[in-house]
Structure 1
Amino acid sequence: MWIGWLEFDLLLGDVHSLKQKRSVVRPVVAELRRRFSVSAAEVGDQDLHRRAGIGLSVVAADAGHVTEVLDAAERLVASRPEVELLSARRGLSRSDD
């Protein structure tokens, strides 16, 4: 079993409150879950209205599939016009590591 994770550091556009932040972050998290069948959540910078941390994880039988999903998820987030992707960190490990 292969486990992959990806963590995004995002700068949000014209956002002036935590309520506006939720209206930007929630659709991104929902689309990641829907399109890639991954676990995803807002995981960082919850008290800052212009920054967001989103994390996701995926489990699969082979490393190639995990890498494909992580790459596609990163491309999706990077293409969103309402957010700027500052950084993406990732990890890949085998269950018996």
Structure 2
Amino acid sequence: MWIGWLEFDILLGAVASLKQKRSVVRPIVAELRKRFAVSAAETGHLDLHRRAGIGVAVVAADAAHVTEVLDAAEHLVAARPEIELLSARRGLRRSDD
């Protein structure tokens, strides 16, 4: 079994409150979950209104599938016009590591 994850550090556009932040971040998280069948959540910068951290995790039988899903998820987030992707860190592990 292979486990992969992504950590996105995101700069939000013209967001002036935590409520507005949620209205930008929640649809991104929901789309990641729906489109790629991954676990996704807001994981960082919870108290800042112009920054967000989003974590994504996927489990599959082979490393190639995990890498393919993570690549597609990163592309989806990077293509969102209302945000700026500052960084994306990723990891890939085999379950017996």
Q: Do both proteins adopt the same fold according to a TM-score greater than 0.5, normalized to the shorter chain?
A: yes
4+ runs of 1 displaced by more than 3 Å? none
Equivalent position of 1:85 in the other structure = 85
Deviation at 1:53, TM superposition (A): 0.1
* Matched AA of 2:71: D
Equivalent position of 1:59 in the other structure = 59
- Uncovered stretches (5+) of structure 1, i.e. residues with no partner: none
Equivalent position of 1:10 in the other structure = 10
Between the aligned partners of 2:32 and 2:91, the Cα distance in structure 1 is: 17
Give the paired residue count: 97
Between the aligned partners of 2:83 and 2:33, the Cα distance in structure 1 is: 18
Deviation at 1:19, TM superposition (A): 0.3
Correspondence 1:7-86 to 2 at 5 A = 7-86=7-86
Scaled by the length of structure 2, the TM-score of the pair is: 1.00
Task: Let me know the Cα RMSD of the aligned residues.
Answer: 0.2
- Uncovered stretches (5+) of structure 2, i.e. residues with no partner: none
Deviation at 1:74, TM superposition (A): 0.1
* Matched AA of 1:23: S
Scaled by the length of structure 1, the TM-score of the pair is: 1.00
